[in-house]
Chains A and B, each alone.
Chain A
Amino acid sequence: MTALTANAAPSRWRNNRAALRFMRHRLALLGLAMIIFLSLACVLGPHLLPYNSLFIDLRARFAPPLTGYHFLGTDPLGRDVAARLLMAGRISLLVGFFAMVLSTLVGTLVGVIAGYRGGWVGATLMRTVDGFLSFPSIFLLLALAAALKPSPVMITVIIALTSWMEVARIVEAEVRSLREREFVLAGRMLGLSGTHIMFREILPNAMGPIIVASTLTVARAILMEAYISFLGYGIQPPLPSWGNMLNGAQQYLGSAPWLAIIPGAAITIAVTSFNFIGDGLRDALDVRDDHI
């Protein structure tokens, strides 16, 4: 017990320092503010707008933004783009978030086991990671999406299935470097089980890199959802997502450019925000700058 309480004080102190450093990172704060704003808009917005995302206003098809009652214009069916954008945001953000949760869980599990066990178990797991990384992710995503029924849950699973490797690599490297440290040896001497040492003693020390990687994974997952939905294999209409709002926008590019520009801008803003937050967290938690 004494060891535990002695541990708690410096860690809280360190977290405060990290929080302070994060607060000083202006871009990260901007990203955080944007994400909070986007989430609130997507949750509350649809209730405040005069139009339902599925309401078809046949007299106002292709209405440009800022004219009449539709402030972001309407699509080829006369549906309100603003209402659809916010409903789509719900789907895109949720898919991005849950894909991150799932891929972080899988990646962490694989990384911890591979890093702690080492030997042929670790080698097999890490070569599997390399194997998955050898496929261009969009080829893998599309093949899987075509093979499985594309519901939002399935899309989330598929995206997670193609983005857990990064976390696994980071965790494996971290755990491998911690494996021979004194506190782990002490744990072994005390007769703690391997599972306890892996998840209760080693893993908390690798939280920084995991948090950073998972923030960047949200950004990646939102992009991937947009890619496959844009190509027609992701979220299926009438359910809107930022990606599938762009599907079909190309043919109206000359006459109704806002159909392409608005959802794409939403994706870019959301992904940039998550990348900014990830960057701020990396500085705050003092994680090595391995890539970008």
Chain B
Amino acid sequence: MRGFLLNRLSQSLVLLVIVSIIGFGILNLLPGGPLAQFGLDPGMTQQDIERLKGLLGLDRPIWIQYLDWAWRLVRGDWGHSFRDGAPVLEVIGSHLFATLLLMGSSTVIAISIGAWIGIRGATRRYSLFDYLATVGAMVALSVPTFWFGLVGIYVFSLKLGWLPAGNMSEIGDGSILGYLHHLILPSIVLSLVHVAIWSRYMRTATLDAISQDFVKTARAKGLSERRILMKHVVGNALLPMITLAGMQLPSVLTGALVTETVFTWPGMGRLFLDSLGYSDYPVVMGLLMFSAILVLLGNLIADIVVAIVDPRIRLA
């Protein structure tokens, strides 16, 4: 177990370094490079910029600049927002909860509905339900999230008037019920693609588990089909799902950005787009690095949870 943890941890660190190199490359691609935030200031002349370059050490070799930049990231000095001068990490922090809430609720929806479809499809293989679920999943994977959001708003907000068309709450309404009411539509929109993915994985995993010997043993013991399915089949099929949940993180974050834009949801995705609109590159860079680190962390946690739950790794 300890060996596994150390190995896994060092893998994550290596990836973190590579991610930071990619991030640094993009930072230098941005118009004006690391000085982008000053380049847009009309009060700055070319000489000022040259002088700043010297002051900030941008005339040094590129790898020293990289080390300097990376060290500041590690220390938590992610620069300041170009818009209001607030530290980038604080700005991101204030938008984190909304995004995590949206991602969490849509993941719950995606896993529960997806798992149900997958298990039902696997136990009734080649039935009409299974066929429709397979085709439906492929179509669901092809629907642009923002378009599904627009159609959802059109039907449920504009035509039926059941659900709000955007924002996290009404102004002055702090009730939990109000928040939940606003959460329903964006969560469903964000979950569509992932319901499809989960249902496909769950179907495969269930089919794999059904053909295992321990299921035959359980049948031979005389357990009811329902008990076999719930305890032995689903229990074993669920384990890889934890890893999958980690692997899904980049795509959930991508979906969240688009969903937040359509529903004016005050999360990281909206912040990213707003910052791009204002050419607020410190925040853009911060969010880019933050989302990648979130993904690395998510995968690491998923693998550790699997290691704790799975006796084959835990006891190794």
Contacts and interface: CB of A to CB of B under 8 A. Distances in A.
B253 interface: yes
Contacts of A192: none
Interface string A131-146: 1111111111011101
A28 to B, nearest CB: 11
B162 to A, nearest CB: 15
B204 interface: yes
Interface of A: 27, 127-128, 130-140, 142-144, 146-148, 219, 223, 226-227, 230-231, 233, 246, 249-250, 253-254, 257, 260-261, 264, 267-268, 271-272, 274-276, 279, 289, 292
A142 B260 CA distance: 15
Contacts of B139: 268, 272
Contacts of B150: 246, 249-250, 253, 260-261, 264
Given A223-B142, A233-B276, A264 B151 contact: yes
Number of contact residues on B: which range applies? Answer: 35 or more
A241 to B, nearest CB: 12
Interface in B268-302: 272-273, 276, 279, 284-285, 287-288, 291-292, 295-296
Given A135-B291, A268-B143, A292-B200, A231 B273 contact: yes
B127 interface: no
A3 to B, nearest CB: 39
B93 to A, nearest CB: 17
B223 interface: no
B214 interface: no
Given A135-B291, A275-B142, 8 more contacts: A130-B18, A131-B21, A133-B250, A137-B251, A142-B272, A268-B143, A272-B142, A292-B197
B250 A131 contact: no
A139 B18 contact: no
A5 to B, nearest CB: 41
A261 B155 CA distance: 12
15 contacts: A128-B22, A136-B253, A136-B291, A139-B288, A140-B288, A146-B276, A227-B144, A230-B144, A231-B273, A246-B146, A249-B150, A250-B150, A253-B153, A253-B158, A272-B142
Contacts of B21: 131
B52 to A, nearest CB: 20
Given A136-B251, A253-B153, A292-B197, A268 B142 contact: yes
A223 B193 CA distance: 13
A60 to B, nearest CB: 23
Given A127-B15, A144-B29, A147-B30, A292 B22 contact: no
A219 B292 CA distance: 24
A215 B295 CA distance: 27
A137 B253 CA distance: 9
Contact of B18 (A128, A138, A231): A128
A289 B295 contact: no
Given A136-B250, A257-B154, A268 B200 contact: no
A257 B288 CA distance: 34
B151 A134 contact: no
Q: Which 9 A-B pairs have the closest CB atoms?
A: A264-B147, A131-B18, A271-B142, A136-B253, A272-B142, A138-B254, A136-B250, A136-B254, A147-B29
Contact of B158 (A254, A267, A279): A254
B138 to A, nearest CB: 5
A223 B139 CA distance: 13
B29 A139 contact: no
A130 B21 CA distance: 13
Contacts of A264: 144, 147, 150-151
A134 B253 CA distance: 11
B240 interface: no
B100 to A, nearest CB: 14
B14 interface: yes
B228 interface: no
A279 B295 contact: no
B262 interface: yes
A171 B229 CA distance: 37
Given A134-B19, A272-B138, A267 B296 contact: no
A163 B137 CA distance: 21
Contact of A275 (B138, B144, B285, B292): B138
Contacts of B142: 219, 223, 268, 271-272, 274-275
B269 to A, nearest CB: 8
B88 interface: no
Nearest to B289: A135
B144 A292 contact: no
Given A138-B254, A226-B144, A249-B150, A130 B15 contact: yes
Given A127-B14, A127-B18, A219-B142, A261 B151 contact: yes
A105 to B, nearest CB: 20
Contacts of A250: 150, 153, 262
A230 B146 CA distance: 8
B185 interface: no
A272 B158 CA distance: 27
